[in-house]
Structure 1
Amino acid sequence: MSEPMHDDELTIDEDLVRSLLGRDLAAYADLPLRPLTSTGSTNRLFRLGEDRLVRLPRQPNGSAAITQEARWLPGLAAELPVSTPEVLTVGEPGFGYPERWSVVRWIDGEKPRPGGGDVTAADLAEVVTGLRRTEVPPEALADPELRWYRGKPIAAFDNDFRSWLQQCRELTDLDLDLDAVASIWKEAMALPLVLPEPRWLHGDLLAENLLSRDGSLVAVLDFGALSVGDPTVDLICAWELLDGDGREEFRTILGLDDDTWLRARAWALFIAVMTFPYYWKTMPVRCADRLVMARAVVGG
C-alpha cells in the first residue's frame, strides 16, 4: 500500500479492489490488477487489464466527486477537442470502504513535462475554450456540489494565501523568491472585483491531469474538481506547461486582458503556495511541477 498523504487517508489495497470488483463487476474480477505508482492525491489508481482503470477516493466524502464526474462529464466530453475518461461504471461502498468508486476507460499517453515542449498553446487554448463555450444547464447552476472553491473569485482567498505563504517561508529548501510572490499577489488583490458569468471549469488543469503523445495534447483526466463559476483558474496551465512564447500565444488566442491575466497569475501562485507546505514530503514530483509554475509567474 502507498504511503498516506492525508491524516484521514482511507485504507485501500489490492484485496479491497478485488472484493469490490467481485461483488459489483464479476466479469472484471479475474483481470490483471496492479496499483499505479503515479497515483494522485485524490484517488488511488489501479490498472485493470489493458484498457480499464479503477479509481477510489483516498479520503472520506470523496463519493461526490466520483458521482458528479459520472453525471456531467459525458455532456462535456462531446465539446472538448481531446479524449476524456469514459466512466464505465460507478461502484458502491463495501467491505469497510465507505465511498463510491469508479471504473473508467484507460487512455494511452504520457504526462507532459512542465516547462514547455510536450503540448502546444493552441492545444491548451482549445480545451479552455471548449469548457467555456459548453452550455451550463439550470440544474448544474443549482447544484451545490459544482460550486467548488476554485470557481470563486481569487480575491476571496487573500487570508488563505497569506497563511500558506508564511508556511512556505518556513521551508528552508524552497528555492523561490517569496517576496516577489507576495508582490504579485498584492497587485492582484488591488484589482476591482469581477463576477463573470458562471461557466464550466476543470479546476485542476495541470500536467498531472493531462496526457500527451508526440508533442500534442491527447487527453484531459480527472474531472473530480469539475465546477461551475469563474473559470479563471483553468488558465494556470499556461505557467506550468508553456514557455514564455507559448504563454503569449495562449493569451492571444483566448483574447485575455491585463486584469484577467494578472488574476490567472495569482491563481497559479495560490495553487503553488498551498501545495508546498502540504505535499513537500509526500509528493516531491508535484511540488517540483508547482515550482516550475511559480517561477514562471515570478519571471513574468
Structure 2
Amino acid sequence: MSTGLMHPGMHPIDDDLVRRLIAAQFPQWAGLAVERFPSGGTVNAMYRLGDDMVVRLPLVEGGAADVSMEQEWLPRLASRLPVPVPEVLGAGVPAEGYPWPWSVYRWLAGENPEAGALSEPVLLAEELAGFVAAMRSITLPGAPDAYRGGPVASLDASTRAAIEELRGIPEEGVDCDAVTVVWEDALRAAAWEGPPVWLHADLMPGNLLVDGGRLTSVIDFGCLGVGDPACDLFPAWNLLPAGAREVFRESLGVDDATWRRGRGRTFSQALIALPYYRRTNQVMARNARHVIRTVLHEAEVS
C-alpha cells in the first residue's frame, strides 16, 4: 500500500513485536496467529489477531492520544450510532521497546469503498447521511474539540503552502490558479454560528467499510469531537459521484455556506495530502487526486 517512510519519527513495528506485546499483556490470546493487515492508513499499523480481532498500534507519537480517545469514547458512542463501530477488547500499554498505548479491537468485516467503483452509490449516500446525522444528534457532555472542527480560515496557511508546493510538481497537472479560486471561495463562506456538533471528523474511504455496496461499519474515530458540521461532509467529494452527492446533501439538509465550507475542508485535506503522500502512500495520493478533480469540476459547473 505504501513505499518508504510516510512520516518522520515512525516507530518500527513487526509481527514479532506484536506477538511479544500480546503474550505479555493478554496471555489468553498468546497462541493466536498474528498477521500484518495491509492498509492505506497513515497513523496506525494494523495486525489481524486470530480470526476475530485486530491489533492497532500508532506509528508515530502524534497518534498516541487517539488511542486513549477511542478507548474513552467508543463504548459511549456505539449504542447511539446506526452501524457498528470498533469495540475495544483490550487496552495495551507501552512495553517491549514500543513507546505508546495501543488497542485490541473486535474485527469488523467489510472492504473500503473506492470512488468510481461504488455498486450502490445512492443507498451508500443515504446511509452515510444517516451516520452523520446520528453523530450530530449526540448530546454527551465533555466532548473534546474535533481535530478538524475549527474555522476554515485556520487551514489557510497550510493549504496555500501546499498549493505552492504543487506548483513545483508539474507532473501532477494541478491547475493551481483554479485551485486557489475555489479555496478562496471557501474562505468567504459564512462561518458556522450554531452550537458545535459531534463529528467523526475523518470520513475518508479508508475509514468506511461496505459489503455489497452498503455501509456496514465506520472505523478510526481518532479525530472525533465537536465542531463545525461541515467537517463531516468529506464523503461528498472524496467518494460519492455527483447524483449521490446531491442525495447526501439533501438528506442532511446542508445550506450553501456549510456546503462551501465542507467542500473547502475536503479540498484542503486533499491539497495537503497529495504532495506529502505522493511517494509513500498511493491510496492517499490517489484519493487526493480524485478530490481535486471532483471539486474543480463541481466549482466549474456550479
Q: CA 1:45–1:2 in structure 2 vs 1: closer, same or farther (change >3 Å)?
A: farther
Name stretches of at least 5 consecutive residues in structure 2 with no aligned partner.
none
In the alignment, what sits opposite 2:160?
162
SS in 2 for 1:291: helix
1:131 aligns with 2:132: no
Q: Percent identity?
A: 40
TM norm structure 1: 0.93
Show the 5 A alignment for 1:39-54. Answer: 39-54=40-55
Residue 67 of structure 1 corresponds to which residue in structure 2? 68
Check whether the contact 1:115–1:240 (CA below 8 A) recurs between aligned residues.
no
1:39 touches 1:45 (CA, 8 Å); kept in 2?
A: no
Distance 1:115 1:233, change over 3 A: farther
Amino acid at match of 2:6: M
Aligned to 2:108: 107
Partner of 1:174: 172
**Conservation of the 8 A alpha-carbon contact between 1:150 and 1:203:** yes
Map of 1:207 onto structure 2: 205
- Deviation at 1:39? 4.9
Under a length normalisation based on structure 2, what TM-score does the superposition of the two structures give?
Answer: 0.93
Deviation of residue 61 (structure 1)? 4.3
For residue 150 of structure 1, give the secondary structure of its aligned residue in structure 2.
coil
Contact 1:210 1:219 in 2 (8 A): yes
Cα separation, partners in 2 of 1:2 and 1:18, compared to 1, 3 Å: farther
- 2:40 and 2:281 in contact (8 A); partners too: no
Query: Equivalent residue for 1:235?
Result: 233
Structure 1 215/51 Cα, relative in aligned 2: closer, same or farther at 3 Å?
same
Tell me, in whole angstroms, the C-alpha distance in 2 between the residues paired with 1:61 and 1:251. 33
Q: Which residue identity is paired with 1:10? A: H
Equivalent in the alignment of 1:274? 272
Corresponding residue number in structure 2 for 1:121: 125
State the distance in 2 between where 1:124 and 1:61 align.
28
- Letter of the 1:275 partner, please give it: A
Gaps of 5+ in 1: 141-145
Going from structure 1 to structure 2, the CA distance change for 1:149 and 1:67 (only over 3 Å counts) comes to: closer
Deviation at 1:264, TM superposition (A): 0.8
Contact 1:109 1:218 in 2 (8 A): yes
Amino acid of the residue matched to residue 90 of structure 2? T
Equivalent residue, structure 2, for 1:18:
19
Are 2:229 and 2:258, in contact at CA under 8 Å, matched by a contact in 1? no
Letter in 1 for 2:134: G
How far apart are 1:196 and its partner, in Å? 3.1
Retained in 2: the 8 A contact 1:56–1:100? yes
Residue matched to 2:151: 153
CA contact (8 A) 1:116 1:243 kept: no
Once residues 256 and 116 of structure 1 are traced to their aligned partners in structure 2, the CA distance between those partners, rounded to angstroms, is 25
* In 2, Cα distance between equivalents of 1:211 and 1:149: 22
**Aligned-pair distance for 1:179?**
2.0
> What code does the residue aligned with 1:172 have?
P
Contact 1:62/1:100 (CA < 8 Å) preserved in 2?
A: no
Q: For the residues of structure 1 that align with 2:80 and 2:171, how far apart are their CA atoms?
A: 43
C-alpha distance in structure 1 between counterparts of 2:8 and 2:228, whole Å: 30
Once residues 241 and 153 of structure 2 are traced to their aligned partners in structure 1, the CA distance between those partners, rounded to angstroms, is 27
CA contact (8 A) 2:146 2:199 kept: no
**In 1: Cα distance, 2:140 partner to 2:164 partner:** 38
Name the residue aligned to 1:246. 244
Which residue identity is paired with 1:169?
R
